[in-house]
Structure 1
Amino acid sequence: MTDRSRRSLPTGRLGPLEILAIVVPLLTVAALALVRPLDDPSTTHPPTDVPLTRATLVCPPALPGARTVGLANADGVAGDVTLRLPDEDEVALDGTRRLGRADAVVAQAEGDLAAGLLGVRYGAASAISCSAPKPGQWFTGVGAAPEHSSTLELVNPDGGPAVADVTVLGPDGPLDVPALRGVTVPGGRTMRFELADIVPTREELTLQVLVSRGRLGVDVVDQVDELGRGARSRDWLPSQSEPGTSAYLLGMGGKTGERTLVLANPGTSEARVELKVITKESEFAPADTDEIRVAPGSTQTVELTDLLGSRAARGALGLRLDASQPVTASLRTLAGGDLSHAVAGERVAARAALALPRGASRLVLSGADGVGVATYVVVDADGKEIARERVELTPGMASRLKLPRNGAVLDLRVDRSGVVAALEVGPPGLAVLPLTTLAVAGRVPDVRPALR
């Protein structure tokens, strides 16, 4: 074989490109093997509860005769409360402080005083709890006719503008109401909307108020004005935080009267609602009572005057509703010429508290979801305990408990069960205040980098 032919044979050696073609994939595989997957693949995490160090309450403008605002702390903490409306002011709080104010009141507390800050406006058979601004609320059974009318009030507690959108549900579905879309409330201002002027109708309506910018205190004043020498009365209509498939409407007083149940179905499917009457001993479905059907996106009205005035419903404390789809609900009562409302209440599983109006009042408990215990304590305006009682909770049973007339703060603690609670205020007249879970902690969102 010649030298030339030997030089053309392959030598068996790899060049630089061949080496890289082998080494780079091996290094890539080794690097990927060292990468550990996340232990928690979830991309969302619940917020963290932290002690509440700043609280704001909004008390709506007064109704005639209801100029009194009561402020207190559920744990008796003393300190200074800043009043931002109508004028900047500071009041010392040690026990219960009562103020005479006609305009909307915004109370703000910081530090230890913020957790458990309470407020109430009352007078002349009317009452409403002062509440923290919420991003969304429902008001079921508002009116827009001369004989039954409602006023929506928006209070901006801050310096900057706030924006809200109001959805209106009628008996035939949502209504187009341009005046209630994108409502801008300047800082420190109160805006009122008379529904009879904006969307006049004789039908019952439901409002959903969503705040898209800033914060707002939202309330509804409801009024009946019967023709001629009939009754004329006003009171606040409490809100419901969200629709639900189970609802307890507590607080009917002890008088017979005109009762109107109003239901709203914001969903896209028909809701079928079963009704039961609540007494101290039981919850029962009245004979010959059909289920109530509520069309999607609509408001349905049911007259219950005859049913709740019957012998079978004597001693009724409220209504229980079980629905196939989430609904909102209210029971309007006109008794002895006085207007009151019972709305679907929030289930309390730990603690609730309420600043009490002066005068007679009764605590109504129902809707226990298990065997448990509720203990309530009432203190006077100086923070001295004047009543304490332990109440056994049993599913299907209810309680109506008389409270001291000179009570200033009600503190309710619940163990081993959940319960729905409301306060009946009066006589004279009747006002109903639903109890909600006491705010003693704030929620901080969980924000962390994500592997994409």
Structure 2
Amino acid sequence: MTEPATGASGRRSGRVRIARFGPLEVLAVLLPVLTVAALALVRPVDEPPVLLPPTAAPLSRTTLVCPSAVPRTGTVALANADGVRGELEIRLRADETQAIDGTARTGLKASYVAQAEGELAAGLVGTRYGDRAATACAAPQPEQWFTGVGAAAEHSSTLELVNPDGGPAVADVTVLGPDGPLEVPALRGVTVPGGRTLRFDLSEVVPSRDELALQVLVSRGRLGVHVVDEVDEVGRGVRTRDWLPAQGEPDTSAYLLGLGGKSGDRTLVVANPGDSEARVGIEVITKESQFAPADLDEIRVPPHSTKTVDLTELLADRATQGATGLVLDATTPVTAGLRTVARGDVSHAVAGGRIVERAALSLPSGPSRLVLGGADGVGVATYVVRDEDGAEIARERVELTPGVGTRIKLPSDGALLDLSVQRSSIIAAVEVGPPGLAVLPLSELVVDARVPDVRPALR
């Protein structure tokens, strides 16, 4: 504080020194005021930002992986569901091209990778087949389940990993048994070099007499994954092989279609990958109804394990004769597979994916039947069969009713099946044979790619 001046007379002077503000002091006062005024002019966002789902765009590139052949299955059939013509790039067996005009059939025993671009990519389907065995060629998936594999002398399975790309791919395989997960170092962190195929005989890497389940997770790159299942009946001289179809993620509801028309040994395997016990009920689907057998108890599957049930007597009973499939209703998501050994031939019915709009399949040569079930409402399914040149040879509309199954004989000279669904959704499979029986579950036809919603964000 400034002291007043004192004169000679001893009186204090009345003059006072006044302080002046500089530029810094003025800014220190004005800046907070201007900031508050600017913030007052900003209007809050009326609606918070939302996350939008991916949008659909026409599929412009796709890759199909066909497994190596088993004995007498050296044919690969490829076609486009919409009849689009063009050339495929063959990445395995060698870098070459193959023309598609109708259905193209190739004799080949090694694993086979085909890539399509442009209009040919949407709706490309393929099948490897031969005597008593068949499997669909599929696009690589990040996760797949195989339920009911074997690792013993009488029942063994071989896991095949195909890398369709030039760089290495890595997969982790989890093995579940009746007592829980099994430690299998040979199947952890499996690296598949680019353009290579690796095979693992489960009877060598994880010998066991139990029924097992495999989960294959691809953590790097892409892999085509297939399993060949073999039954060698000691003493009878019967040795038979077929592919065990893959399943997607576990679900609380599973439809296993394609039981064939012959009686045989039926083995159901259920896998529970969850942390809680699964209680599973079973119903049988026939062309008249869907019902739960009175003398069949609920199946209890401990966490992270498998459970095996013999259904031979149940499916040989007069009440279940002509059954088209099974329905499993579980309290927690499971996977399941039914293995049938009849007249020296093995086949598999697995939990199929739900078809909402359309499915297609390149048909193997010979007799085949379309099996439908699991309709979630009254609707209509229309199937079209084309020959090897792409000409339509059969078309039929089928009324869909919940709680019943349908088995339809297809033309033996059919090369392509196109199935569309309206006002409902269904589960579908194709039974191939005789000779023998192979079951090919159908899945939703991929014609669009999913493009994520990407927008600039403020930091």
Q: Where on the TM-score scale, by shorter chain, does this alignment land: which range?
A: over 0.9
Q: 3-state DSSP class of the match of 1:7?
A: coil
2:404 aligns to what? 397
Q: 3-state DSSP class of the match of 1:252?
A: coil
1:272 aligns to what? 279
TM-aligned CA deviation for residue 170 of structure 1: 1.1
Identical positions, percent: 70
* Cα distance, 1:287–1:382 mapped onto 2, change above 3 Å: same
Return the TM-score normalized by structure 2. Answer: 0.94
What CA distance in whole angstroms lies between the structure 2 residues aligned with 1:417 and 1:174?
38
1:258 to 248, 262, 265: 265
1:296 aligns to what? 303
TM-aligned CA deviation for residue 92 of structure 1: 1.2
* Cα distance, 1:389–1:82 mapped onto 2, change above 3 Å: same
1:131–1:217 contact (8 Å) kept in structure 2: yes
Query: What whole-Å deviation, never above 9, does each CA across 1:384-431 have from its counterpart, x for those lacking one?
Result: 100001011111122111100000000000011110000000111000
TM-aligned CA deviation for residue 311 of structure 1: 1.4
TM-aligned CA deviation for residue 89 of structure 1: 1.9
The reply on whether 1:60 has 2:67 as its aligned counterpart is yes
Superposition RMSD in Å: 1.9
* Cα distance, 1:39–1:204 mapped onto 2, change above 3 Å: farther
Which deviates more, 41-50 or 111-120? 41-50
Q: 3-state DSSP class of the match of 1:187?
A: coil
The reply on whether 1:51 has 2:58 as its aligned counterpart is yes
2:36 aligns to what? 29
* Cα distance, 1:37–1:167 mapped onto 2, change above 3 Å: farther
Question: What letter matches 1:408 in structure 2?
Answer: A
Query: What whole-Å deviation, never above 9, does each CA across 1:195-229 have from its counterpart, x for those lacking one?
Result: 01001000111111111111110000001111112
TM-aligned CA deviation for residue 314 of structure 1: 1.3
Question: What letter matches 1:421 in structure 2?
Answer: A
1:249–1:320 contact (8 Å) kept in structure 2: yes
> Structure 2: which 5+ runs fail to align?
5-10
1:164–1:211 contact (8 Å) kept in structure 2: yes
What CA distance in whole angstroms lies between the structure 1 residues aligned with 2:406 and 2:36?
70
| Larger CA Rg, structure 1 vs 2 | 2
The reply on whether 1:101 has 2:118 as its aligned counterpart is no
Q: 3-state DSSP class of the match of 1:312?
A: helix
What CA distance in whole angstroms lies between the structure 1 residues aligned with 2:391 and 2:117?
24
1:364 aligns to what? 371
Query: What whole-Å deviation, never above 9, does each CA across 1:23-45 have from its counterpart, x for those lacking one?
Result: 43333333334445556645754
TM-aligned CA deviation for residue 15 of structure 1: 7.4
The reply on whether 1:73 has 2:80 as its aligned counterpart is yes
TM-aligned CA deviation for residue 84 of structure 1: 1.4
TM-aligned CA deviation for residue 22 of structure 1: 4.9
1:188-207 matches, within 5 Å, as 188-207=195-214
Question: What letter matches 2:79 in structure 1?
Answer: A
* Cα distance, 1:283–1:217 mapped onto 2, change above 3 Å: same
Question: What letter matches 1:91 in structure 2?
Answer: Q
1:43–1:450 contact (8 Å) kept in structure 2: no
Q: 3-state DSSP class of the match of 2:319?
A: coil
The reply on whether 1:419 has 2:422 as its aligned counterpart is no
Return the TM-score normalized by structure 1. Answer: 0.95
What CA distance in whole angstroms lies between the structure 1 residues aligned with 2:390 and 2:24?
87
Question: What letter matches 2:56 in structure 1?
Answer: D
Q: 3-state DSSP class of the match of 2:320?
A: coil
2:16 to 7, 18, 24: 7
* Cα distance, 1:264–1:24 mapped onto 2, change above 3 Å: same
1:307-322 matches, within 5 Å, as 307-322=314-329
Question: What letter matches 2:260 in structure 1?
Answer: G
Q: 3-state DSSP class of the match of 2:56?
A: strand
What CA distance in whole angstroms lies between the structure 2 residues aligned with 1:412 and 1:4?
109
Question: What letter matches 1:309 in structure 2?
Answer: A
2:218 to 195, 211, 214: 211
Query: What whole-Å deviation, never above 9, does each CA across 1:314-363 have from its counterpart, x for those lacking one?
Result: 11110001111010111111111110001100000001000000010000
TM-aligned CA deviation for residue 312 of structure 1: 1.6
The reply on whether 1:158 has 2:165 as its aligned counterpart is yes
Query: What whole-Å deviation, never above 9, does each CA across 1:50-92 have from its counterpart, x for those lacking one?
Result: 1111111000000100000001110111111121111222111
